[in-house]
Amino acid sequence: MVKTEIRLEGIVLDEGMAVTLAELTQLCGSSARSLQLMVTEGLLRPRQGQAPAEWRFDGVQVRRARRAQRLRRDLELNLSGTALALDLLDEVETLRARIRVLEHQLGTAGVEEFG
């Protein structure tokens, strides 16, 4: 067992990111063709650009593309099945966040029952 310590600064996958199609193929190990199909399917949305060469993807889309790639590979989903799974996962995440906030607003007081 060797021990090393490394200090690192990462890149946050956020709205400020802008990666090209070529960079995205590197980031998620997909071919440009399969990423283009994801855009056609509406599964990925470039933040800007009309032609594929001009496309720029933000961090949210990078995360989505990586997720899509893994789901397709591991669960053998087709493209529309992957798009559906991702949309539902997004919705679950949004709802979970809403629940957290609403639970917070309601407080932790229990309900008293009468009659």
Residues in contact with other proteins by CB under 8 A are 1-14, 16, 27, 29, 59, 63, 66-67, 70-71, 74-75, 85, 89, 93, 97, 100-101, 104-105, 107
CA–CA gap between residue 92 and residue 99 (Å, rounded): 10
CA–CA gap between residue 27 and residue 53 (Å, rounded): 17
Question: Which CB atom, from 53 or from 115, has the smaller least distance to other proteins?
Answer: 115
- As measured in angstroms, the least distance from the Cβ of 79 to other proteins is 16
CA–CA gap between residue 45 and residue 58 (Å, rounded): 9
- As measured in angstroms, the least distance from the Cβ of 29 to other proteins is 8
CA–CA gap between residue 87 and residue 43 (Å, rounded): 8
- As measured in angstroms, the least distance from the Cβ of 39 to other proteins is 20
Residues 28, 30, 33, 35: is their CA dihedral positive or negative? negative
Question: Which CB atom, from 37 or from 77, has the smaller least distance to other proteins?
Answer: 77
Question: Which CB atom, from 12 or from 53, has the smaller least distance to other proteins?
Answer: 12
- CA separation (Å) from 60 to 13, 57, 92? 6, 8, 16
- As measured in angstroms, the least distance from the Cβ of 51 to other proteins is 26
